[in-house]
Structure 1
Amino acid sequence: MERKPIADSGVEVTAGLDDRATRRRQSAFARRKSSAVVEESAAIVEAHTLNDADRRLAEMGYTQVYKREFSWLSTFSFALSVSGLFASVSTTFIYPYEAGGASSAVWCWLISGFGCYCIALSVAELVSAYPTSGGLYFTCKYLAPTNWVPEISWLCGWLNLIGQIAGAASTEYGCAQLLLAAVSMAGDFNGYVPTDRQTVGVMAAFTVLHGALNSLNTAALEKMTKTYVIFHIAVLFSCCVALLAMCDYKHTSSYTWTTVVNNSGWSPTGWSFLFGFLSASWTMTDYDATAHIAEEIKNPEIKAPWSIALALGFTWIGGWLFTIVLAYCSGDPTHTLKNAVDQPVAQIFYDVIGRNGGIFFTVAACFVLNFTAMTAIQAGARTIWAYSRDEMLPLSRVWYKINKKTDTPVYAVWLFATACVLINLIGLGSYIAISAIFNLTAIALDWSYCIPIICKMLYGKFERGPFHLGWASLPINIWAVCWTTFVTIIYVMPTIRPVTPQNMNYVVVLMAAVAIFAVGYWYAAGRYYYVGPRVKAQLIMGVAGEEDKAHSSGGSSDEKRDPTAVS
C-alpha cells in the first residue's frame, strides 16, 4: 500500500490558538528553527545508502544511532520478559484470591486478559506503522490533529514515562520482596521477617546491578535477553507440574470454578469479584516496551509488533493456566493469606512442594523478575533518550548523549535507575504511599496508549504498517479504550473494607498529582520550547540510477524530500 506524505508536526502548530499564545508559540518555534536547520543540514542521508529499517526511520525524521542487534528470538524474549509472567502472577495472585477466592482468580484472569490483549494488539498495530524509540508517544505526531500535536504528545509522553518509572520501581521492589521471602521461608516463616529498610536496601542493590548491566553494549544486552525465554518457560512448566504432582489436597472443580469466597469485606460479593481483574491488568502492561528498542531491532516494523502480539498472547493464556494450577492447589484461603511475608504463592510453594522446593521456585521467581527489571530499565532509558532527542526533558542534551564505547545512552540509563531508587525510598516511611505509586503504573501506561488509539479512531490519519488488524482493527481499538476506562475505576477503589488509613487506595491522589504536574509544567515552561517530535534527518533519494532501488517517485537525485513523508 502506498503511503501518503505527512507533514512535519512543527508546521502550523499555532492554528486555533489565541493571539498571545500564537505569538509565544511562533517565537518559541522560531528560536528552535535556527538550530533545527543546522541539525537537518548536518544529517542529510541518501536513501540508497540505507537498509529498509534505517530509511523508514529517516522518513520519520531521525538518523540511525544504535546498532540493530535484536533478532526474532531476542525481540520476542524481550517482549515476554516485560510481563515477567511467572513472577508477576506469583506476586499479584493475592489480589483476586483475597477478593473472591480461587474462582475469582481463574475467571478474572481470563476476562481481564482478553481486554488487556486488545490493548496489546492495538499498540502492536501502531508500533508497526511508526517503529521508533519514542514508542506510542511518537505516533501522536502522525495521528493527532496537527495544531494539537505538541499538547497531546506532551501529555502522552509524560504519562508513559511516569508509568514506566513507577512500573520499574515496583519491579525492583518486588525482586527484593521475593528474595527476602525465600530467606524467610528457609526459617519456616517463624524466624526472620524482612523489615522495610532491608527490603529497600536489597532493592537498591538490584537496581544498581540492573543499571550496570544496561550500561553494556546492545550486542551484550541481546545475548542476555534471548536466554530469558528459555529459562522462563522451563520454570513455569516445571512449577506447574510439581504443584499438580505433589499437591495432596486439591480443591474440587466446583469450588475452583464456581465458589466465590469474599475476603475483601465488599458487598455485594459480585463487586468484590471484580477486584480479581487487577492481577492480569498489572501483569499485562507496558505493552510498548518493545517499541522503545525498535531502533535496535532488525526489521522492527515486523518483528516488534509480532513479538508484542505473540508474547502478550502467551502471557494471557500461560498466565491463565498457571492461575488455574495455583487455584486448585491453594489450600485453605485463611491459612494461605495469613503468612509472614504477605506472599500467598510463596506459602503455596512451601505447603505443597516443601521448604527446599518452595525456596527454589521463589528464588526462580526473583530471577525472572530480575529479567523484567532489566528490560524495564532498558526500555525506560531509551524512552528518556527519545524524549531528549525531541528536547522534551530538562537537560535533554545530557540524556541524549550516546556513550562512545557502548553506543548506548548510559546517562539516560542511570537517570532512570536513580528515579526508581528515589521512588522506592518512600517505602522507608510509608508502605501505603509506595503501594499507591505502584498502583499508578497500569493507569498511566494504559492511558498513554489509549490517547493515540483514540486519535487513530477519531481523525483518520493512520497509515498502517506490515502488521495490521484489518477489519477487526476498529472493534479491537474500541474495546481497548472501553476496557481501560472500566478497569481504571477498579484501580482507584480500595480493595478491602472497612476502609482505613492503612488500606486506603491513594492512587487517585497520585493521578491528580500527575495531571497537575503535566499540565502545570506545560503552561509554565513546555509550551515555550516544545513543538512535538522533531525532524533530525533530511532524506534524499540518492544518486542517479538508485531511485528505483530507493522507491523514488522519479524526482531528481539532488531533490530533497519531506523527511516525514511516508513512502
Structure 2
Amino acid sequence: MVKDTAPRDVISPSAANSSDGHIVRHRTRSIGHLSTTNGPDGARALSNDSQDGADSDDAQLQAEFGYKPVFKREFGYLSTFSFAVSISGLFATTMTTYSYPLSAGGAAAAVWCWLIAGSGCMCLAFSVAELVSAYPTSGGLYYTVSRLAPQKYVPVISWITGWINLLGQIAGVASSEYGAAQMLLAAVAMGTDFKYEITENTTVGVMAALTVLTGLVNSLSTYWIEKMTKGYVIFHIAVLVSCCIALLVKTENKNTASFVFTEIESSSGWQPKGFSFLFGFLSVAWTMTDYDATAHITEEISNPAKKAPWAISAAMTFTYIGGFLFNIVLGFCMGPSSADILGAYQPVAMIFYNSLGKAGGIFYTVCGFIIIKFVCFTALQATARTFFAFSRDRLIPFSRVWTQVSPISGTPLTSVWLSVILCILINLIGLGSYTAISGVFNVCAISLDISYCIPIACKLIFGQFKPGPWHMGRYSKYINTWACIWTAFVSVIFILPTEYPVAADTMNYACVFLVAIFFFAYLYWIVRGKRFYTGPIVEGYETPQVGEERESGVGGEEKAGELVGEKVA
C-alpha cells in the first residue's frame, strides 16, 4: 500500500538556524515499496523492485546531492572502463602529440618524459578518482567544492573551478578534432603517394566537418552511445598491440638502445638541453588528462561511486604502462634522424609508412583516426554533460537553454551543439597560425589539471572530506600533495614558448587563451554571478532573500521551495 505520495518540504534544523539566515530545503517523497525506473523510451515508470540499482542511485542523487535524475543509467563496468580508456585514446593521442617530445629531445625524451610525467599524472588521476567516488555527480570536481570548502568560500572557488574546467573540456575536444583531421588527411596523402597537398585551410575545414559528425553521434540516445563505447576498448588494445608487433617485425634497421634511452637531441633552440627536455611533458600530460570526464557521466552509470573511480584508475594505469612501451617501440623504429620525422605532416604516420609500407601505413593511420574519433565522441559527451551540470547551477549565461533534455534521445541536445560550435570557433585560429593551435593543446592540459587541483587542495586544507567506497586511505594526503605540486610545476612549463628564439610564429599562445577565459569569467562574475550564485545546489536550493531573483538551473522555475525540471523537445 502506498502512503503519502505527495512531495513535501523538509527543513533541516541546522539549516534553519544558519548564520546567513537562509533556509535550505529539499524535497522528499514517500512511496512505500514502490520505486521509479527508466523505461525503454526514457520515461520514468514505477517498479516493484525497491532494490533496483539504478533506482537507488537516482534516489541517492536526489536525496544526498539535491539533483533530479534526468538521464538513464546505461553504463556498466565494461562500458565505463571503455569510456575512461577512450578519453585518453592512447594510440591516437600519442600519434597526435609525439612531435612535442621529439622536438624537445628526440626519442629518449619521448621515453623518459612519459615515465616521469606519467607518474605525476597517475597521482592526479588517483586523487580525482577518490573525489569522484565520494561525490558522483555530473558536475564533476566542480561540485565537490561545495562539500570540501567552508560555505563562505564556496561561491568564488566553485565559480573559478567550473570555468577553468569548462575551458579545458572545450580545448580538449577542439584539439582532439584537430588531431583527427590531421590523421585523416595524412592517410589521404599516403594513398596518393604524397601528391595531395595539405594546407591549414584544408585541415580546419575537415576539422569542422568531423566536429559536426561528433555532434550527430552525441545526439543519439545514451543507449546507442553505451553500445558503441563498450566495444571500443577491445579494438583499441588490438590496434596498439598489433601495431607494436608489426613495427618491431617489419622495421629492418632499428635504432640502438643507446639512441632510444640516452641520446638527447633537441631541435627546439632552447639551451641547456635539460630545459628543452621539459617541453616533452606535454605529450603525456595531454594524453593522460580529462580524468573527470568519467565523473561527468556518473549520472548515467549504475553504482557510480564504485564503477567510476575504478574505471578512472584502471584506465590511467593502462595508459601509463601502455604509453611507455609504445614510445619505446616508436623510438626503436623511427629511423636515425628526428628531423626527418618532424618534417612530416604527421610524424608517427610517417614512421608507419617508412616501416610498414604504404598499405600498413594507411591501415594504422586510419586506425588512429578511428580511435581519436572515439576520443572526440566521449570527450564531447563529457563536455555536454559539463555544460548541463553547470547550467543546472546557473554558472553559465542562458542556463535554461542548455539544460533542455530531449525526450526522444534523453540527451541534452542544446548543450551538445553549443559544445560543437565552440570547438569549431576555437579551431578557426588554425587558419592564421598552426602555432596558435598548439596553444589549444597546452590550454587543455593546464586548465583541466588546475581545475582538479583546486578541490584537491580544498580537501587537504579544510579537512572536510568524507571518503566514498574507493579511497587511498593513509596514503591519500601524500598522493594529493604531490599531484598539486606536480601540476603547478608543469603548468609553468606549458605556458612558455617551446621554440627559441621567440617570434610571433613560435609564440606559445596558451597564456593568451587563459587570460581571455579568466577575464570573461571574472567579468561575468562581476556583472551577474556574485548577485545570485551561491555555489552548486546542495539538497535543493537556498531560498532567496527578499528582492532577490533566482533562475532555475533545470530548465524550469523554482517556486514555493520546489526545484522543477522539465524535458523539452
**Which category of TM-score, normalised to the shorter sequence, fits these structures?**
0.7 to 0.9
Alignment pair present for 1:286 and 2:294: no
The secondary structure found in structure 2 opposite 1:276 is: helix
Residue from 337, 347, 351 that aligns with 2:350: 347
Alignment pair present for 1:198 and 2:202: yes
Alignment pair present for 1:417 and 2:417: no
Partner of 1:230: 234
The higher relative CO (CA closer than 8 Å, separation ≥ 6) is in 1
Aligned counterparts of 2:481 and 2:351: Cα–Cα separation in 1: 39
Using the TM superposition, give the Cα deviation of residue 511 of structure 1 relative to its aligned residue in structure 2, in angstroms.
1.9
Using the TM superposition, give the Cα deviation of residue 471 of structure 1 relative to its aligned residue in structure 2, in angstroms.
1.0
* Alignment check: 8 A CA contact 2:251 2:333 kept: yes
Residue from 132, 141, 145 that aligns with 1:140: 145
Aligned counterparts of 2:411 and 2:517: Cα–Cα separation in 1: 29
Post-superposition CA distance 1:519-549 (Å, at most 9, x none) = 22211211112111114659xxxxxxxxxxx
Trace 1:115-264 onto structure 2 (pairs within 5 A): 115-189=120-194, 191-264=195-268
Residue from 269, 274, 277 that aligns with 2:273: 269
Aligned counterparts of 2:427 and 2:60: Cα–Cα separation in 1: 39
Partner of 1:546: none
Residue from 91, 96, 100 that aligns with 1:91: 96
Residue from 461, 486, 489 that aligns with 1:486: 489
The secondary structure found in structure 2 opposite 1:275 is: helix
Aligned length: 511
Using the TM superposition, give the Cα deviation of residue 336 of structure 1 relative to its aligned residue in structure 2, in angstroms.
3.1
Partner of 2:550: none
* Alignment check: 8 A CA contact 1:163 1:445 kept: yes
Residue type at the aligned position of 1:474: K
Alignment pair present for 1:386 and 2:386: no
Post-superposition CA distance 1:43-92 (Å, at most 9, x none) = 74669636432232121111221111101000000000001100001111
Residue type at the aligned position of 1:412: S
Gapped regions of structure 1 (runs ≥ 5): 15-25, 539-559, 561-567
Cα gap change, 1:522 to 1:10, in 2 (>3 Å): farther
Using the TM superposition, give the Cα deviation of residue 513 of structure 1 relative to its aligned residue in structure 2, in angstroms.
2.1
Partner of 1:466: 469
Using the TM superposition, give the Cα deviation of residue 152 of structure 1 relative to its aligned residue in structure 2, in angstroms.
0.6
Post-superposition CA distance 1:160-217 (Å, at most 9, x none) = 011100110111111111100111122333x212112211111111111111111111
Post-superposition CA distance 1:459-494 (Å, at most 9, x none) = 000000000001110110001001001111110111
Alignment pair present for 1:71 and 2:76: yes
Cα gap change, 1:94 to 1:218, in 2 (>3 Å): same
* Alignment check: 8 A CA contact 2:255 2:336 kept: no
The secondary structure found in structure 2 opposite 1:62 is: coil
Using the TM superposition, give the Cα deviation of residue 130 of structure 1 relative to its aligned residue in structure 2, in angstroms.
0.1
Trace 1:489-500 onto structure 2 (pairs within 5 A): 489-500=492-503
Alignment pair present for 1:407 and 2:410: yes
Partner of 2:5: none
* Alignment check: 8 A CA contact 2:122 2:317 kept: yes
Aligned counterparts of 2:57 and 2:13: Cα–Cα separation in 1: 18
Gapped regions of structure 2 (runs ≥ 5): 1-11, 36-49, 542-560, 562-569
Greater mean deviation of Cα atoms: 301-310 or 87-96: 87-96
Partner of 2:341: 337
Partner of 1:303: 307
Trace 1:498-517 onto structure 2 (pairs within 5 A): 498-517=501-520
Cα gap change, 1:10 to 1:498, in 2 (>3 Å): farther
Aligned counterparts of 1:533 and 1:73: Cα–Cα separation in 2: 30
Residue from 106, 115, 123 that aligns with 1:110: 115
Aligned counterparts of 1:7 and 1:207: Cα–Cα separation in 2: 49
Greater mean deviation of Cα atoms: 329-338 or 79-88: 329-338
* Alignment check: 8 A CA contact 1:6 1:142 kept: no
* Alignment check: 8 A CA contact 1:165 1:416 kept: yes
Partner of 1:82: 87
Cα gap change, 1:352 to 1:47, in 2 (>3 Å): farther
Post-superposition CA distance 1:323-345 (Å, at most 9, x none) = 0000111112245334341x211
Percent identity reads: 55
Partner of 1:565: none
Greater mean deviation of Cα atoms: 329-338 or 281-290: 329-338
The secondary structure found in structure 2 opposite 1:292 is: helix
Using the TM superposition, give the Cα deviation of residue 422 of structure 1 relative to its aligned residue in structure 2, in angstroms.
1.4
Aligned counterparts of 1:61 and 1:440: Cα–Cα separation in 2: 32
Using the TM superposition, give the Cα deviation of residue 107 of structure 1 relative to its aligned residue in structure 2, in angstroms.
0.9
Cα gap change, 1:263 to 1:431, in 2 (>3 Å): closer
Using the TM superposition, give the Cα deviation of residue 420 of structure 1 relative to its aligned residue in structure 2, in angstroms.
0.8
* Alignment check: 8 A CA contact 2:65 2:539 kept: no
Partner of 2:329: 325
Using the TM superposition, give the Cα deviation of residue 142 of structure 1 relative to its aligned residue in structure 2, in angstroms.
0.2
Cα gap change, 1:458 to 1:183, in 2 (>3 Å): same
Residue type at the aligned position of 2:162: G
Cα gap change, 1:324 to 1:267, in 2 (>3 Å): same
Cα gap change, 1:477 to 1:7, in 2 (>3 Å): farther
Cα gap change, 1:150 to 1:137, in 2 (>3 Å): same
Trace 1:343-382 onto structure 2 (pairs within 5 A): 343-382=346-385
Cα gap change, 1:335 to 1:459, in 2 (>3 Å): closer
Partner of 2:438: 435
Aligned counterparts of 1:216 and 1:519: Cα–Cα separation in 2: 35
Aligned counterparts of 1:443 and 1:72: Cα–Cα separation in 2: 29
Using the TM superposition, give the Cα deviation of residue 360 of structure 1 relative to its aligned residue in structure 2, in angstroms.
0.7
Aligned counterparts of 1:247 and 1:401: Cα–Cα separation in 2: 53
Partner of 1:396: 399
Aligned counterparts of 2:18 and 2:160: Cα–Cα separation in 1: 19
Partner of 1:543: none
Cα gap change, 1:195 to 1:66, in 2 (>3 Å): same
Residue from 530, 534, 552 that aligns with 1:531: 534
Cα gap change, 1:127 to 1:145, in 2 (>3 Å): same
* Alignment check: 8 A CA contact 2:334 2:341 kept: no
Cα gap change, 1:396 to 1:256, in 2 (>3 Å): same
* Alignment check: 8 A CA contact 1:163 1:440 kept: yes
Cα gap change, 1:422 to 1:6, in 2 (>3 Å): farther
* Alignment check: 8 A CA contact 2:286 2:441 kept: no
Greater mean deviation of Cα atoms: 164-173 or 120-129: 164-173
Post-superposition CA distance 1:222-246 (Å, at most 9, x none) = 0011111011001000100000000
Using the TM superposition, give the Cα deviation of residue 148 of structure 1 relative to its aligned residue in structure 2, in angstroms.
0.9
Aligned counterparts of 2:272 and 2:16: Cα–Cα separation in 1: 50
Aligned counterparts of 2:16 and 2:308: Cα–Cα separation in 1: 25
CA RMSD in angstroms, aligned pairs only: 2.2
Aligned counterparts of 2:449 and 2:14: Cα–Cα separation in 1: 28
Post-superposition CA distance 1:386-409 (Å, at most 9, x none) = 111112211111111111111111
The secondary structure found in structure 1 opposite 2:294 is: helix
Greater mean deviation of Cα atoms: 494-503 or 44-53: 44-53
* Alignment check: 8 A CA contact 1:133 1:292 kept: yes
Using the TM superposition, give the Cα deviation of residue 347 of structure 1 relative to its aligned residue in structure 2, in angstroms.
1.1
